Amino acid sequence: MAEHLSQSELDYPFKLLEYFNGFRVSKVIFSACELGVFDLLLKSQEPLSAQHVARELGTSVDGMERLLDALVGIEILEVETTDGTAFYSSTDVANLYLAKGSAKSLHDMIIYQSQTIYPLWNNMVDAVREGRNQNEKTFGLPPEDVFQAIYRSEEEMLKFMGLMNSSWVLDGHDIVTAFNLSCFQTIVDLGGCTGALAREMVKAYPSSSVTVFDLPQVVESAQKHFSQENDAIVFQTGDFFSGDVPAADLYVLARIIHDWPEEKCLTLLKKIYNTCRPGGGVLLVEAMLFENRRGPVMAQIFSLNMLVQAEGRERPPSEYTHMLKKTGFQNVQVCRTGKSYDAILAIR
């Protein structure tokens, strides 16, 4: 940090203060999403006063006015004053990403961050001290069964599925086009959750058949809550750790490897290698760290999240390459997308 902060930061720590208050900025956005501020403003099609918004959403006028002003301050809302009354409207960014109804809405991601990740991070000090997740302290669930905590109720499972859906609506296209995958006729997305990434795969490679393979309760919820008309993907139930995986030309592991310690990852990759057809491959999708440990900051933060919530970590390309080659895969290719998630392709 010292070599990146200017002399002026030593005179007055503007950047440090911005970091200190980062959690408050997050909570401003989280709170507005949970209250329905962005949905109301999008629906209204015209600027609204704090009094109007407060009345519609059942809040205090004073509290809502402060929240709206903070959203203006971080440039998520616009404000104009007429005859002494402030009228608020959404920016294009808020309409696109923060309102529920948008095709690229991150609303579900935000709700999960606010209601699940935020409480976990309150116990980060203990996670660092103990070197293990904080599901027991946060939710009263044993740390050994990560997905028992994540899927601890239908409501919580749907929140997690919403998070994953938002991730691939945002990043899916860049991931599936990071490499030319048209040579793979049958593709299985292991732990594919709602099917959002699989749908992006079908769009990019319409001649390929794409199957989402996940736990029975996940598949049931995906088909009930996230299905699309004329869906071109197929769902199949199973457990890729305890059971067999279906035969395929390409296996996709998107944000799966980072959940687990290396030994468990090697077991899964070896199972995939043994099932994979010759000339087939595996596509890993993760937020890759730099080899020099200097970022990306988002991947470093994700790695801390794996500490506090799961059993794994984010890794640099060399560690993924090591695991893939150790389990038999060759011709490892790495593609950094420049966005949240990167891709690694390896061939059997």
- Could you tell me how many residues make up the chain? 348
Q: Into which CATH architecture does domain 7-98 fall?
A: Orthogonal Bundle (1.10)
Going by their DSSP bridges, the two strands 281-286 and 85-90 should be labelled as unpaired
Q: How many helices (H) and strands (E) does the chain have?
A: 18, 10
**pLDDT for 1:** 46
The amino acid at 212: V
The amino acid at 40: L
Please report how the helices 22-35 and 37-44 are oriented relative to each other, as an axis angle in degrees rounded to 10: 60
- Four-CA torsion 229, 233, 236, 238, nearest 10 degrees: -110
- Report yes or no on whether pTM surpasses 0.85: yes
Three-class DSSP category at 6: coil
- Contact criterion met (CB below 8 Å) for 100 and 39: yes
As beta bridge partners, residue 343 has 285, 335
- pLDDT means per 10 residues in the chain (348 residues)? 68 94 98 98 96 98 98 98 97 97 93 97 98 96 92 95 95 98 98 98 98 98 94 97 96 98 98 96 98 97 98 98 98 97 98
Q: Please give the C-alpha separations between residue 346 and each of 18, 277, 330, in angstroms, as whole numbers.
A: 41, 13, 6
Q: From the centroid of its chain, how far is CA 213?
A: 19
Would you please indicate which residues are annotated as catalytic (active-site) residues? Answer: 258
Q: Where are the alpha helices (DSSP H) in 226-292?
A: 262-275
**pLDDT for 4:** 62
Distance from C-alpha of 272 to C-alpha of 281, rounded to nearest angstrom: 9
Burial string for 148-177 (b: 16+ CB within 10 Å, else e) reads: ebbbbeeebbbbbbbbbbbbbbbbbbbbbb
106-347 fold? Rossmann fold (3.40.50)
- Among residues 331, 312, 336, the alpha carbon closest in space to that of 321 is found at 331
**pLDDT for 5:** 64
- Among residues 246, 247, 273, 269, the alpha carbon closest in space to that of 256 is found at 269
- Among residues 208, 203, 209, 210, the alpha carbon closest in space to that of 189 is found at 210
**pLDDT for 7:** 78
Burial string for 219-246 (b: 16+ CB within 10 Å, else e) reads: bebbeeebeeeeeebebeebebeeeebe
Q: Which two tokens stand for residue 106?
A: 């991150």
- Among residues 117, 72, 118, the alpha carbon closest in space to that of 94 is found at 72
- CB within 8 Å of 170: residues ≥ 6 apart: 104, 106, 340
Domains 7-98 and 106-347 share a fold: no
- Give DSSP secondary structure letters for 274-328: HHSPTT-EEEEEE-PPPTTS---HHHHHHHHHHHHHSS-----HHHHHHHHHHTT
**pLDDT for 101:** 86
Domain residue ranges in the chain:
7-98, 106-347
